[in-house]
């Protein structure tokens, strides 16, 4: 049996899914409004980026968890900040060519656009994962208290 502190692949999947569903709900209408494209056009791009990001999220978090176990660091604010930055750098490398192709813009313009998106996602990633970890810890503590009662 796994420790309650261990996050299974299934839990990581649902964490990534929740992250992406909320992100799409925010970004598709906001992106369409800011960039002047139709909601459908930006919605499809947002969904494609979301699928890439969700896959990257699962892989990156599994690696991050393993690094934490090997290196023994706590999930402090600094660790979460490093986590968010490293995640976004990897995502930028995957998304820029897709955005350039889909929007029929140059790589430089797609990079600038993606930097703007990353500036939104840096605090979003940090806040989402920090909130998730804190809510999860409270849920597990409550579950342990009930099991002992």
Domain ranges of the chain: 9-148
Q: How many CB atoms lie within 10 A of CB 76?
A: 9
Long-range contacts from 35-40, C-beta under 8 angstroms, 24+ separation: 35/113, 37/103
Residue length of the chain: 149
In the three-class reduction of DSSP (H, G, I as helix; E, B as strand; rest coil), residue 122 is classed as helix
**pLDDT digits over 38-90, tens only?**
999 999 999 999 899 888 888 998 999 999 899 988 888 998 899 988 988 88
Report the C-alpha gap between 85 and 70 in whole angstroms.
Answer: 20
Share of the chain above pLDDT 70, in %: 97
């Amino acid at each position: 049996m796994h420790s309650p502190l261990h996050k299974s692949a299934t839990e990581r999947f649902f964490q990534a899914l929740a992250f992406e569903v909320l992100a799409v709900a925010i970004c598709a209408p906001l992106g369409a409004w800011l960039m002047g494209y139709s909601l459908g056009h930006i919605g499809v791009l947002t969904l494609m980026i979301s699928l890439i990001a969700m896959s990257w999220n699962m892989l990156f978090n599994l690696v991050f968890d393993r690094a934490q176990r090997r290196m023994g660091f706590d999930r402090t604010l600094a660790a979460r900040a490093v986590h968010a930055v490293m995640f976004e750098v990897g995502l930028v490398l995957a998304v820029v060519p897709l955005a350039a192709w889909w929007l029929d813009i140059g790589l430089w313009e797609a990079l600038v656009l993606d930097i703007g998106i990353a500036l939104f996602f840096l605090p979003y990633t940090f806040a989402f994962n920090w909130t998730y970890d804190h809510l999860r810890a409270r849920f597990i503590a409550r579950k342990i208290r009930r099991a002992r009662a």
